[in-house]
Amino acid sequence: MKAIVLKEFGGVDKLQIQDIDIPVLKTGEVLVKVKALSVNPVDTLTRANKVEIANLLEQYDPIILGWDFSGVIEEIGDHVQEFKVGDAVFGMVNFPGHGRAYAEYITVSVDQIALKPSNITHEAAAASTLAALTAWQAFTSYGKLRPNDKVLIHAASGGVGHYAVQMAKYLGAYVIGTSSAKNKEFVMELGADEHIDYRSVKFEEEVSDIDFVLESIGGDNFQKSVKVLKEFGTMVVLPSGYTEEDEVAAKAKQLHGSHFMCVYSSARDMKIIADLLGKGIIRAHISHIFDFKEMDKAHLQLKSGNTVGKVVVCIY
């Protein structure tokens, strides 16, 4: 099979297509022929050796990046009962470990996948894995978003953010989303109640008494966000940097929770996301679709910082 391998860290030129063996099934796994996958910031950061997960190179040679996929089951391992050959499935495989999703075939444990809703494409399904799981787990696992909570979602037009807006509305919250002015209409169409253009307005001077903040920007954005939270409010921080000073500020405000989260693979949560997608409660917004041979372009697009929603790569 063809796979995109990474033998050393660096630029997009380090992503090389090679022919390798199809992976061997283990007990409790299924073999999936991948139809589509999505690319996330962690992919580009790992390639460039800028995140802790990059110690993969010490364990595997070569590394095959990628964690998000959608495809069709071609073989089932021992003790697999809930899936059959021919089922269309999607999920986030083995995060934060060696995902190996940049390949024509992957093996994945059944405790990490769900059936793909029949009314969405493989591209939409692949886009609705790591980013959608991050948003869902931020609101239901790391923090507890309650009906009528006022939530501030930073980078509301991004991969995680655009799911977060939709999910927060589904959970009954009042949603304020930040993005650039050009993406205001998009954020409002997702269901946001208010929009803040972070380039022209200081959000910390515009909002107050926030119950829950989903922070993904980094830098001094955490400190600014603490200022707008209610006492005993909740902050969930995506991997964007979290310092000792941030922790001190959180404790001073007596936040109910200040959580630095790492999304994790979960069939239970994937089934919830599948249900939300199937019912049309949430939807994936895909801004760019690339061919498997254009993985370098997919990485560069994501690295540009100008992506609305998700970047997807197809394997046909």
Please give the structure tokens belonging to residue 91.
């999920």
CA atoms of 162 and 135, how far apart (whole Å): 9
pTM, two decimals, is 0.93
Given a cut of 90, whether residue 301 has pLDDT beyond it is yes
Which residues, 6 or more positions from 304, have their beta carbon under 8 angstroms from its beta carbon? Answer: none
pLDDT category at 262 given cuts 50, 70, 90 is: confident
Q: What is the pLDDT of residues 90-147, one digit of tens each?
A: 999 999 899 999 999 999 999 999 999 999 999 999 999 999 999 999 999 999 999 9
Determine phi and psi for 71, rounding to 5 degrees: -170, -160
Q: What is the pLDDT of residues 48-96, one digit of tens each?
A: 988 877 677 678 878 999 999 999 999 999 999 999 999 999 999 999 8
Measured over the CA atoms of residue 71, residue 75, residue 79 and residue 81, the dihedral's sign is positive
